[in-house]
Structure 1
Amino acid sequence: MPEFHLFAKGPRPVAPFSHAVEADGWVILTGQMPTDPEAPDAPLPEGIEAQTRRVMDNLALILAEMGLDLSHVVQCRCFLTEFERDYAAFNDTYQTYFPEDRRPARTTVGVTALAVGALVEIDCIARRPEAGA
């Protein structure tokens, strides 16, 4: 049976969802926004680099609540509202979160809008290590 997780330390949800759902060792994280978990009503960070860092930090926070980290991520989906303008700067920031030889599979899509007026949203899938592995 899937386990549904909503964490008090996690970012305040902007819609009706769980922060993560786990089934059979697979952990699916809801797309995170560049909101500050400690100040959810604060303005979003300025610019794609700062928003990407906040989103990645929010993903890391949710993973940590699950006893995991970014090294367990196998796939990310990234959404950018200003794809052509922000793609290169987004990549420059995003890649700092993963070693060059352990980057997850990834899809990046340009979209017309995101919740809370964000420039970026990222969701991901992580896998728990096998017991004894």
Structure 2
Amino acid sequence: MIASGPRPVAPFSHAVEADGWVFVTGQMPTDPEAPDAPLPEGIAAQTRRVMDNLILVLGGLELGLDNIVFARIYLTQFERDYAQMNSVYQSYFEPGKLPGRTTVGVTGLAVGALVEIDLVVRRP
């Protein structure tokens, strides 16, 4: 568990590490400083909050976005939100230095979120 990380919405650890591989649990667009506050409105704001939460978790492990090997993204409104989510997501990375990724449309996510992202990270 990462002390500064978002409050979990279920029984899980923020991340688990095995042999230099770090598996970061899917993060939600909740505010770590106000976990009971309403979620940000819209896919762009929710994607930013999820990415910022992932950065908090990675920072607590002394890792960063450049250590990400693979991301999985879950969207409840795939057709509507895919392009806008991509725009926000891509803005967090250096051009041409994106991790591998899969994006999946789902019927629902915890706390009524529009997006959730989990990561596979490699410690240098």
Q: What TM-score does the superposition give when structure 2 sets the normalisation length?
A: 0.98
Q: Alpha-carbon deviations, 1:43-74, whole Å to 9, x = none?
A: 00000000000000000100000000001001
Alignment match of 2:76 (pick from 81, 87, 107): 81
Partner SS for 1:53: helix
Q: Deviations over 1:50-106 (max 9, x none)?
A: 000000000010000000000100100000000000000000100001112210000
> Any residues of structure 2 matched to 1:1-133 within 5 Å, and which?
6-129=1-124
* Cα distance in 2, alignment partners of residues 55 and 16 from structure 1: 18
Q: Could you tell me which residue of structure 2 aligns to residue 3 of structure 1?
A: none
Runs of 4+ in 1 over 2 A off after TM superposition: none
TM-score relative to the length of structure 1: 0.92
Q: Which runs of 5+ in 1 are unaligned?
A: 1-5
SS where residue 10 of structure 2 aligns? coil
The structure that has the greater radius of gyration is 1
Over the aligned positions, Cα root-mean-square deviation in angstroms equals 0.5
Distance 1:38 1:123 in 2: 21
Equivalent pairs: percent with the same residue? Answer: 71
**Count of aligned pairs:** 124
Deviation at 1:8, TM superposition (A): 2.0
Consecutive unaligned residues of structure 2, counting only runs of 5 or more, are none
Task: Please state how far the C-alpha of 1:112 moved relative to its aligned partner.
Answer: 0.3
